[in-house]
Structure 1
């Protein structure tokens, strides 16, 4: 499984780099019509997108892994290329891909819970005083690949998957009336993660997105066996 994940990530990153290095104009021509022929040009376009939403773990979690629904946030900054596949007719088909940096923030619910890594095992400990904030943050470089369908009504639907590598992870603990302390570490997180993604909305407006990672982000036996989900808006 790890070999497949490494292969998938390497392939997707190489594929995206190749696409972004090109400045080709794609020309799509309709069937010849008597007396008159029609020709349509469709260029590869790019845009910068911001994803903002909520995230959390799913599945059966050990005691202490309770997170604040609103405090646990997902943010991603993405640069995407839209590559035309079929643009004749009322329904348009495009390939959407491009690099992104994504942050998962998991905010602990109880006011004294702290995540600690001891001897390659994760533990939930209780702080000596009430905490204003206690969370686990992961930063990841992702490469999504989606197929986008745009209908005549303006409704668009994208379906695809993504894979990525961990850039950083840390815990942030802020006691009441004190200064925040960040502790960087791997926290037994897998270096490579992958998931499924879908986006729904109207052309030229914000879109609803849903992401789901069926596999646990932690190494086997060294952390909770949990999935990860995120939902929010693409701006």
Structure 2
């Protein structure tokens, strides 16, 4: 093996400069205090390190460390490739009891990348990033369709009078949620999603009817002239609470997720809108004997970046005895 060459202060300055742009690293700990850190410019070159005989490198270098002053850097440059790959520079530095091995490949010294081992700083940065992602507020938009489930007809009501247009009855919501992890590793995450959500349920009627508030009950009255549009819109402020289970691929991107939980909400507003053939529009803001308190179940499922949701109210839209016994069912996509 060629003689070891003591790198001058110029090499030390280069190592310090390279520390500004840290590379990918592999840190091997032995016991409580000893560790070996291996650095490479890219992940690909870090994987290429498996082609080196690291046992021979460590044996060659450790045998020389007893005579090395603290902070001094030694290097081995093998040209014939018997022990190490051809045109490979191995730099070993001992500082405060730590041994750092830096691998440089290629013809230009510009590819050399090394920096001092500071595990506490690296751990602090990882914890800071984890904490930031764990409590980050997400803004999501939900778009889908509505329908009513339950009795097709109830006393005083003909089910056909409040039959909905399946494509015209739309759902929209805006949510601000957090999703802190309970269990998390590189492959899976178990978390709880919660926050605030504003939801609009639009119920578009097929028949030529208008929703009206009567003295005791809500009425679906036939309108005297033809309507091009007639709908009832209910706006709720909701609190979702959904346990989530997520699976990640080797690139640490979410491959699959599923969640199931519930929500509770309060009615903020409700109104009807009708549109005549001549284009005239009329709105009527009223409670229409709707239940102010809304609650139910909701779930979601996602594959990669494609996410679907479903919501089902456990209580009726209208107060008991004042309207048909129907419950909203909403489903669609989340973006």
What pairs up with 1:25-104 in 2 under 5 angstroms? Answer: 35=31, 41=127, 42-43=130-131, 44-62=135-153, 63=158, 64-88=161-185, 90-104=187-201
**Counterpart residue number, 1:166:** 267
Structure-1-length-normalised TM-score: 0.80
Distance 1:180 1:34, change over 3 A: farther
**Counterpart residue number, 1:217:** 317
**Counterpart residue number, 1:190:** 291
Structure 1 spans left out of the alignment, 5+ residues: 1-32
Cα offset, 1:67, TM superposition? 0.5
Which structure: greater strand fraction? 1
For residues 61 and 215 of structure 1, the distance between their equivalents in structure 2, rounded to whole angstroms, comes to 16
Deviations 1:76-95 (A, max 9, x none): 00111111111135221111
Deviations 1:84-123 (A, max 9, x none): 111135221111111011000000002x211111103011
For residues 86 and 99 of structure 1, the distance between their equivalents in structure 2, rounded to whole angstroms, comes to 23
For residues 131 and 34 of structure 1, the distance between their equivalents in structure 2, rounded to whole angstroms, comes to 79
Q: How many residues align?
A: 201
For residues 167 and 227 of structure 1, the distance between their equivalents in structure 2, rounded to whole angstroms, comes to 18
How large is the RMSD of aligned CA atoms in angstroms? 1.9
For residues 332 and 136 of structure 2, the distance between their equivalents in structure 1, rounded to whole angstroms, comes to 24
Work out which of the two has the higher radius of gyration on C-alpha atoms and give 1 or 2.
Answer: 2
Which structure: greater helix fraction? 2
Point out the more displaced range, 36-45 or 56-65. 36-45
Deviations 1:13-58 (A, max 9, x none): xxxxxxxxxxxxxxxxxxxx86479966322122110000001111
For residues 45 and 61 of structure 1, the distance between their equivalents in structure 2, rounded to whole angstroms, comes to 44
Structure 2 spans left out of the alignment, 5+ residues: 1-28, 36-118, 250-254
